[in-house]
Amino acid sequence: MSQPMEQVSTAAGDVAGSIVVAVDGSDHSDRAVRWAVEQAALETRPLVAVAVAGDTGTAAEDAVAAARGLAPDLPVRGASVAGEPREVLIDLSTEAHLLVVGSRGRGSLRGILLGSVSAAVSAQSACPVVVCRPSGGDPVQSGVLVGADGTPESRAVIEFAYRQASLRGLPLTVLHCFWDAAAAVAQYREARGQTVVPPDLEELRAALSEAVAGLAEQYPDVPVTLTLKHGFADQALGPRHGGWDLVVVGRHPMTSLGRVFTGSIATTVVERAHGPVAVVPVAAPPD
């Protein structure tokens, strides 16, 4: 039985364990609502549509109505919250299971606002964030793509990707790029006639296999391809290679120059992607 329409609250309330979607009435937030509804239904979690700042009560009401139209049995409520959008959503991320936001918009002030919010939230959220980018007309490759950097802390990123592939019945591609920041150093050495030792591909393959160890048994329904690619991670994960059902990247804490670099990869992937991108925060390595 479908649930009755709920009145939009003036506070987000308890969002613990919920999927929170940011709405502003734009086409970009409509795309986010559709993705969030599907995700909430797949995970059997409640959905909270949050509109922040300004006269946005109507946006929250419309989002709730749209969600009920797509999934009548889904527990969903709306909230119109006063405050600075970035601060409100980042604060909600400390309790939410997942945040879903629209992509950068160019057709209206509200769309631009949501775009700038998505960049800030994906960079600072305490929980995973899905940024719903437009497809750009690229053919979807029917699968989930996750970038693996080989660090033990990134295990959560790969686990997130496995779970999404399992929920959707999609294949998973685990990609490790072995160029990244070292490319600039290698090019400089080659230009000066210095010897450059190529990476040991067998070691890289072994590290990639270790990164997914045990997950095949946990998710036996997910067909997995492990891929090594020579190049920059943001380019390999970008739209040049076609669209994906979902691209998953990790976001490391900005605790060092190397972490700043890997953090910027997530930002670049979000900006260039033609489709939804999940940014998963990675815990800081132990001291």
- Highest-scoring range by mean pLDDT, 74-88, 199-213, 253-267: 74-88
Q: What is the per-residue pLDDT across 148-207, written as a single tens digit (0 to 9) for each?
A: 877 777 889 999 999 999 999 999 999 887 654 455 555 555 555 655 555 566 777 777
Flag whether pLDDT at 269 surpasses 50: yes
Looking at per-residue pLDDT, the higher value among 142 and 139 belongs to: 142
Flag whether pLDDT at 76 surpasses 70: yes
Residue 178 has phi, psi (to 5 degrees) of -115, 35
The answer to whether the CB of 164 falls within 8 A of the CB of 278 is yes
Q: What is the per-residue pLDDT across 219-251, written as a single tens digit (0 to 9) for each?
A: 999 999 988 876 555 565 655 445 689 999 998
Distance in angstroms (rounded) separating the CA atoms of residues 212 and 135: 29
Mean of the pLDDT values across residues 92-102?
96
- Burial call 127-153: b when 16+ CB within 10 Å, e when fewer: bbbbbbbbeeebeebebbbbbbbeeee
pLDDT at 107: 39
Residues 6+ apart with CB under 8 A from 157: 146, 147, 148, 248, 249, 250, 280, 282
pLDDT at 163: 97
User: Global pTM?
Assistant: 0.82
Please, which residues bridge with residue 129 across strands?
99, 279
Q: How confident is the model at residue 116 (pLDDT cuts 50, 70, 90)?
A: confident
| Cα R_g (the chain), whole angstroms | 20
Count helices and strands (H / E) in the chain: 10, 10
Looking at per-residue pLDDT, the higher value among 116 and 72 belongs to: 72
pLDDT at 103: 77
Q: What is the per-residue pLDDT across 7-62, written as a single tens digit (0 to 9) for each?
A: 578 788 899 999 999 999 888 899 999 999 999 999 999 999 999 866 556 899 99
